[in-house]
Amino acid sequence: MLVPGSKLGDFQVTEEVGRGGMGAVYRARQLSLGRDVAIKVLPPELARDAQTAARFQAEAQRMAQLQHPGIAQVYTVGEHDGQHYFAMQYLPGGSLQQRLARGPIGLAQAVEIAAQVAEALDYAHSRGIIHRDIKPANIMFDGHGRAVVTDFGIAKAADGTMMTATGIALGTPAYMSPEQVKGNPIDGRADIYSLGVVLYEMVCGRPPFVGENPLSVAMKHLSEAPLPPRVMRANLPEWLESIILKALSKEPADRFGSAGEMAAALRTRTQVAWSATSPTVDRAHVGVGGETRVLAPPARRSSAPVLVALALVLMIAGIGTIIYGLAREVTGTPEGESGIAGPGQPGPPGPSGGQEEPTPEPPVVEVPNVVGMTVEEAKSLLSAFNVIENAPRHSDEVPVGRIVRQSTYYARRGDAVYIVVSLGPRSWERVDLERTAWRQVTGQPSLFVDVAPGSQMVSISGTTSGAKWPKETGVEMGPFPCRQAWFEVSFMDASPDYYHVVGLAVIGQLAGGRYPDRFAVEYARDETRGYRCARTRSKNWKIVGKRHGFFGDEASNFHTLRVEYDASTRKGIGYVDGEKVGECVVPLGDLTARAYFTTSENGQEVNVIFRNFIGQFRP
């Protein structure tokens, strides 16, 4: 991880602005030209793999080939001190995902954004590049408000060349086309489907399909028809609804022939023909200038083979347990009943063979945006709806007591609207050995651990018993349920000259794991062989960073070990005396901090003192 002020060749890092499966993105200043750029950096743990580094370079090369105002421009590709990076256009306008989080988007703006993205995709497709992961997070805005497509990390060339690293998801479930879900060959029409999902979300306030997990969302792309956008937003023009539904056709052949064709329809506000291709919809009917008839579902075939295939695709793609949490879906007709007929359209046949009159329902109306308001203000403004408070959550942006999220922006009067109240930012909680419950760790029974009451001083003394490596002796605190944490301890090692290690580790076991994982920073020395180094270790005791001769000549001085861990990125960083030694990605659960001594030598004297074992964590 780079910190502000770090340099990569001609670029000086200002701040981190994003992070994805193929690297972190930083805002930086190009010193020679005096301009701001965005730098994508391949993490060190991935850069060591030659194939991954080649894929990273391939992404930059693909993007560099695409010279279009709607595609992020790549300036240069480089490597500095083993760090692979490429510099590209800096986009100060943020992402579409951030805009959607602030509330619904106006129709004119949504149409313009979709048209600009379609034009950019049409250009990429004409050069043989399929994006495969169009979603709000990958649509950014430049300083003039123009939509710009970014992140070609999993793009596919027309010749079949893939740019997907092992473990990178082949798309995002909420925006994946049916053919991507099934693992079938794809072309540019897969991007058209994903753009249709994005356009639906912009005008309706939510994607067409939501669910409890990626597999359920993927199944809906295959088997369900989206709720017509005009049911969600009554003032939506018919021509725009027809464009959205054509883009969301299950069969690629029923979508627009090209992204340019979709862009032209948006620019000219043309009502287009679209085929209803859901298994529950009459495919023979074309939805322009006539009725749209939804039929009762046909006899259901076993979905087990599809479920197994989907599970394999999602596992191989590295899609985690992403929870798509809208508190309530606005749904159509319950399963097993006949379908919905629009105003003035005949309903499905009744028992006598005639047409039943559709039951009138209240119209879908716009729900005011109450994010940032107090609960009282929100309930007053949403008096026409059934306001329900969900469990509160922490937010770094929204002050305590104000609304941080609402479930929908379109609903019928009387419907439930769920709100979430902010608990404010998570505060750092301080822990230390003196005031926190701690445990003694005795890896070698012949060693004695002494903690003076009311003191931050711990001594480890005795004679080593040659325990099987590694057996640690020391003290530990925790576990702490935390999102971010740091722990620190100072030590003095006055032990004789033989090979031994003094370390500080964070240890945590994820739910379902058999054994706990760990990340540690250590001081290892063997003065008889002139060996002395600081190092960091990941799980399985793999060394991920090392500096020899780090501690100078005085072994009796106090030195400081520090470990930082961020659960959101799963990254641990180790420091010795304020100097970074190494970092790595390691998944940890609730953290236990351990200060320890260990060795495999037998009959050796031990004299180690720890002091000021402290830390802070954010739940």
pLDDT tier at 353, thresholds 50, 70, 90? very low
Domain span(s) for CATH 1.10.510.10 in the chain = 96-288+305-316
Does residue 453 carry a pLDDT above 80? Answer: no
Predicted local confidence at residue 543, as pLDDT: 76
* CATH class label, 7-89: alpha beta
pLDDT at 311 over 60: no
The 3-state DSSP class for residue 42 equals coil
Give me the residues paired with residue 90 across strands: none
- Record the tokens describing residue 209, joined without a space: 């399909």
Q: Is the peptide bond before 392 cis (omega within 30 degrees of 0)?
A: no
Q: What is the mean pLDDT of residues 236-242?
A: 93
Least confident of 87-91, 271-275, 400-404, 454-458: 454-458
pLDDT value for 287: 33
Of 132, 191, 122, 192, nearest to 156 (Cα)?
Answer: 132
Active site residue 10: no
Contacts of 232 (CB under 8 A, 6+ apart): 203, 204, 205, 330, 364, 410
Pairwise CA distance, residues 503 & 52, whole Å: 32
pLDDT of 498 above 50: yes
Please, which residues bridge with residue 111 across strands?
none
CA neighbor of 174 nearest in space, from 138, 147, 201, 139: 201
Chain CA centroid to CA 619, Å: 19
Residue 614 has pLDDT above 70, yes or no: yes
pTM beyond cutoff 0.75: no
- Looking at the chain, the whole-number percentage of residues with pLDDT higher than 90 is 22
The larger pLDDT score, comparing residue 136 to residue 282, is at: 136
pLDDT value of residue 578: 80
The answer to whether residues 149 and 139 touch, using CB atoms and an 8 Å cutoff, is yes
In the block, residue with structure tokens 């639906």: 200
**What is the pLDDT, as a whole number, of residue 581?**
85
137: three-class secondary structure by DSSP:
helix
The side-by-side arrangement of strands in the sheet containing 591-598 is 438-442, 472-480, 591-598, 500-508, 517-526, 531-537, 543-548
117: confidence class by pLDDT, cuts 50, 70, 90:
very high
Beta bridge partners of 132: none
Closest CA to 538 of 511, 497, 508: 508
Note the pLDDT of residue 159: 41
User: Which stretch of 234-238, 342-346, 397-401, 537-541 has the lowest confidence by average pLDDT?
Assistant: 342-346
- pLDDT for residue 490 is more than 80: yes
| pLDDT-derived band at 379, boundaries 50, 70, 90 | very high
> Which of 246, 415, 223, 388 minimizes the C-alpha distance to 329?
415
With cut-offs at 50, 70 and 90, classify the pLDDT of residue 350. Answer: very low
Portions of the chain given CATH number 2.60.120.200: 429-618
Q: List, for residues 162-216, the tens digit of each pLDDT value.
A: 444 333 335 578 899 999 888 788 899 999 999 999 999 999 888 998 876 777 7
> Looking at residues 111-139, what average pLDDT do you find?
92
- CA nearest neighbour of 452 among 470, 471, 475: 475
Query: pLDDT band at 289, cuts 50/70/90?
Result: very low
Chain mean position to CA 352: 54
Of the candidates 122, 133, 191, 415, the residue annotated as catalytic is 133
- Range list of β-strands (E), 527-589: 531-537, 543-548, 559-566, 571-576, 579-585
Q: Find all residues with CB under 8 Å of 543, minimum gap 6, and list them.
A: 535, 536, 537
SS3 of 483-519: CEEEEEEEEEECCCCCCEEEEEEEEECCCCCCCCEEE
Q: What is the pLDDT of residues 148-162, one digit of tens each?
A: 998 875 445 444 444
Residue extent(s) of CATH 3.30.200.20 domains in the chain: 7-89
Q: Provide the pLDDT for residue 237.
A: 93
* Domain 364-421 top-level CATH class: alpha beta
433 neighbors 228 (Cβ within 8 angstroms): no
Distances (CA, A) of 208 to 110, 173, 248, 289, 326: 16, 12, 9, 24, 12
The phi, psi pair for 66, rounded to 5°, reads: -100, 105
Q: Which long-range contacts (CB under 8 A, 24 or more apart) does 102-111 make?
A: 102/369, 102/371, 103/369, 103/371, 103/409, 104/202, 104/203, 104/205, 104/366, 104/369, 104/409, 104/410, 105/202, 105/203, 107/203, 107/235, 107/236, 107/237, 107/240, 110/199, 110/202, 110/203, 111/240, 111/266
Residues of the chain with CATH 3.30.10.20: 364-421
Q: Which of 406, 447, 404 is nearest to 426 (CA)?
A: 404
pLDDT surpassing 90 at residue 242: yes
Task: Please tell me the predicted confidence (pLDDT) of residue 3.
Answer: 78
SS3 282: coil
Instruction: Say whether pLDDT at 356 is over 60.
Output: no
Which CATH class name applies to 96-288+305-316?
mainly alpha
Q: Does 185 or 135 have the greater pLDDT score?
A: 135
pLDDT for the residue 594? 93
Non-local (6+) Cβ contacts of 235 within 8 A are 107
What is the average pLDDT across 55-81? 80
Per-residue confidence (pLDDT) for residue 140, from 0 to 100: 93
Residue 564 predicted with pLDDT over 60: yes
Write down the residue that tokens 């970092």 correspond to: 583
Across the range 309-319, mean pLDDT stands at: 47
Whether 32 and 19 have beta carbons less than 8 Å apart is answered as no
Residues 6+ apart with CB under 8 A from 470: 443, 501, 541, 598, 600
Bridge-partner residues for 77, per DSSP? 86
Could you write out the three-class secondary structure of 365-411?
Answer: EECCCCCCCEHHHHHHHCCCCEEEECCCECCCCCCCCEEEEECCCEE
pLDDT of residue 378: 93
pLDDT band at 427 (very low <50, low <70, confident <90, very high): confident
Mean pLDDT of 17-25: 72
CATH number of 429-618: 2.60.120.200
Please give the mean pLDDT across all residues of the chain.
Answer: 77
